[in-house]
């Protein structure tokens, strides 16, 4: 099956700085890579996703890049704000299953 590793497990940045979270996956057949944000006590919600036929995707302050050869993908958040503080999960689809990374707790200090 698929295995997804996510780093770092915690990340602390100053407001206005950029944050980068990286994930690697094991199965080259994986073709869909979503990112979810989970605020404390809330449900995970999709913030951006990318498919294997695309190398980069942007949505305002967030972007995701995918390197299929190296089997890794990254989430980039620019101009971080306190409301970006949350746990972020990457995931990779394999067949009919979605496998998640272990999560990154992002703390944005005002």
> Is 102 a binder of another protein (CB under 8 A)?
yes
> Is 24 a binder of another protein (CB under 8 A)?
no
Alpha carbons 50 and 62: distance in angstroms, whole number:
12
Closest CA to 88 of 31, 27, 10: 10
Q: Which residues pair with 109 in a beta bridge?
A: 14
Q: Which region, judged by CB under 8 A, interacts with another protein, from 4-12, 14-22, 63-71, 72-80?
A: 4-12
Binder among 35, 101, 106, 108 for another protein (CB under 8 A): 101
Beta carbons of 62 and 47 less than 8 angstroms apart: yes
Binder among 77, 89, 106, 108 for another protein (CB under 8 A): 89
């Amino acid at each position: 099956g698929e295995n997804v590793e996510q780093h770092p497990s915690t990340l602390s940045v100053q407001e206005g700085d950029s944050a980068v979270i990286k994930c690697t996956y094991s199965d080259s057949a994986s073709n869909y890579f979503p990112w979810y944000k989970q605020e404390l006590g809330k449900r995970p919600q999709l913030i951006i996703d990318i498919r294997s036929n695309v190398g980069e995707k942007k949505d305002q302050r967030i972007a995701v890049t995918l390197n299929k050869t190296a089997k890794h993908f990254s989430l980039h958040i620019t101009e971080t704000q306190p409301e970006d503080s949350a746990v972020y999960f990457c995931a990779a689809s394999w067949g009919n299953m979605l496998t998640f990374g272990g999560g990154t707790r992002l703390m944005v200090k005002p």
